[in-house]
Structure 1
Amino acid sequence: MKKTILTLLAGFAGLLLLLALLAPSLLGFSITQLGSAVRVATGMGAKLACSGYFVSGFSEARNLDDLASYSPANQLLDLHYDNQGKRVTATLFGLGETTATFRPGLGCTLDVGDTRALDQVVAAPLASTAGDWPTGENPAHIDPALQRTLDSILAEDNRAGLNTRALVVVQNGQLVAESYGAQVTPQTPLLGWSMGKSLTAMMLGRLQALQPELEITTPLFPQWRDERQQVSLENLLQMSSGLDFDETYAPGSDATRMLFNAHSASEIALQSQLAHSPGTHFSYSSGTTNLLARWIYEQLGGNPQSNVDFFRQQILAPLGMQHTTFEVDASGVFVGSSYIYASARDWARLGLLMLQDGKWNSEQLLPEGWVTAASSPNGSSNDSGYGYQFWLNDAGESLRYPELPQDSYFMLGNRKQAVMISPSTDTVIVRLGWSSGDYPTGRNFAQLLP
């Protein structure tokens, strides 16, 4: 027995030595960050592999490749897929075991803390829609010349290793071209990452349209009994809250703990203190968006079922978004900053709603004037090129994408996800993929404009 224990201790010591040697060069982090790095790797691994497999329908090999694009350490993850229990378990050298569980209509959630309330949520089926897009799924207005151009762009992207998975073009309210990569169909839900921020803002707009008398009291959260009482909803929408949130994606940062380790994604930003006066300083913060998601959740009654019902009944159903999953954290609040999976056609529907000034089938889903405000500069002193969770092409002194119309604005997400809304050309363009480096968004989209 004593010999067995000594053998185990020696093996563990050898593992630590191996990690110490590998960490700086191969794994991308210092040995002093080992504990946090393991938790981030296994949290990311379990969450993304679960969603990739059970939501997008991707293979285990593709999921591992996608994870490895973030860090070489992820190549060493051991991912166990439980088809019966609908969950994925991740470990790294046997350490940091983390699981994520899939629930119909909710997608995958990390099993952190008490998640029993999520088991009671029922995502009622959406009524099927027929006819031509956008009401239905029939792409009846494909432009052959534009389709050839789109196919060529996708093929060239993937020859260059850019891993483009879907491209869709909408002009004058009609889907005129669409092209898809391997393992992807018009129905495949694809991760938008930070494009979820724009959707979270749109959810707030929808809530305000339904409840124009909604009283917005201060402080926004009862925990804010100090100078944070000054923070407004518009400050949150424009990323000018002044809250000190660490957006860097490194082991132990606010952002990584929020996405890959926390029971409540919004709790970390909720505890952030002010670093600037509200409204004066732009600072991109995923934590800010999750505060918006939490505020919406609380206005809807503070329970997961009403939260999911609102999203499905007031966003998915009116727009006919049959292939979209907005994932919640373990507390039942949508992870508005990051975790929405939607087909390219459904992403295009969201862009079209903005292009149509918030109207859909003659119904004003977003308040009149809301889209104008959402696509207008913020009032910060350092970076005005951001609206209500939308990036503006007109960034003040220059255009973000000089090849594209000045009035265009964007949903943008990690791995170069993009939905461009171009009012002057009546165009929406969607690009979904997994590019770890640069992507020629401006050059490619310019080829698709009328």
Structure 2
Amino acid sequence: MVSTPIRVGIDGFNLALPRGTGVATYARTLSRCLTGMGHKVDVLYGMNITHRMSTDLREVIFFDSLGQEVPTRRTKLFSSRWWRERRGDLAGYDAVPIPLSGRVDARGFTARMPAHDRLLNVPELFHRAALHYRYARRFTTVRIPDPPAIMHWTYPLPIRVTGALNIYTMHDLVPLRLPHTTLDNKSYYFRLIKDLCIQADGICTVSEASKSDIIDFFPQAAPKIHNTYQSIAPGHEILEKAETEIAREIHGAFGLEMDSYFLFFGSFEPKKNIGRVIEGFLESKSSRRLVLVGAMAWKSEQELRFLERGIQLGRIVKIDYLPESLLGALIRGARAVLFPSLSEGFGLPVLEAMAFGTAVLTSREGAPREVAGEDALLVDPYDTAAITDGIDRLDRNDALCTRLAAAGPSRAALYDMDHYARRLGTMYDTVLKAAKR
């Protein structure tokens, strides 16, 4: 494990998005773990912040852009900006620092911010890099002053930081394994993953299931792949709250009682199996309600064909994006979390529910099974009747729910920050040693 503190960079690709995503949670958790390990952390964003702006204005624009949909500016052909972009595509881009003076009141962004020592930016980096790779099949290079020893990209991106060892996290290969469930350009995605497997100094993944999928498609990547799993840092303020306080919160915010509902949280997309979750619940005999927390995603129309019917019947409650504290209260108050996903890189909702001591129903295959072990109710995710039966068992069997809820925190502890730090340290140490050979 890396014993000497180093500088590690991560990207802000998902951190700047308006809604929270699993990858954004991964990036924030990674940054906090790295800081806890004693490493310096750089975070590289792609906002419309340029070196021509004063340092004071960069700070203002950063917080003005964070969590906002920033439209991509069209570039006029042969304009000075067009020529700058062509030079950048060929010669690379210089990152500019975003110093934080504290003069901007950023307390409302605390939950969104990663742990960091430096914030840096290249204007429209991720958009520009994707276009450049699409047309030229070349990676965009970025120069950072005093570059990090390791640049740990939290997502497969066609970008390299000069002077750093570049590690890319591949959470899953869902666009290739379940192509009908995503809108990704499959040819682009296949080429990118193939090139990353060749050019990366290391590949990070988050489960043995994902590691196996990557090797199945790209055997040449096997020597470079490291499974670090994931971790969470459940808020102590939520864990330490008395049940009476949790009950008061969920009743006040949602009109729900403790143990009166099942919970699904995540994006509403085909791979999450939300359609079968809804159908299986409506076919169950449960008098409890199903609470769905998440945003509509791609290809969700067919998946949600029974949603409106469930809402009309008063059996389903749909809630959009929630802050971490309220979501944590909902998890703690649920009878069980339902997460029979078709495919996951890791299955963060499974771990989060177990950490909060809530029973879980999840898939009996892939990463969710790997994370949960035998401490969840496992079902065939393609079998709606099996999902219905699982819901009915959890609904009627108090002893089963109590046993699963009690086992969850011990299982979740296998993925705590200390374990995560050791796995990350082993990966970095291996990549650094390989570079010296």
TM range (shorter): under 0.3
Higher relative contact order (CA 8 A, sep 6+): 1
Which has the larger helix fraction?
A: 2
- Could you tell me the TM-score, scaled by structure 2's length? 0.24
- Could you tell me the TM-score, scaled by structure 1's length? 0.24
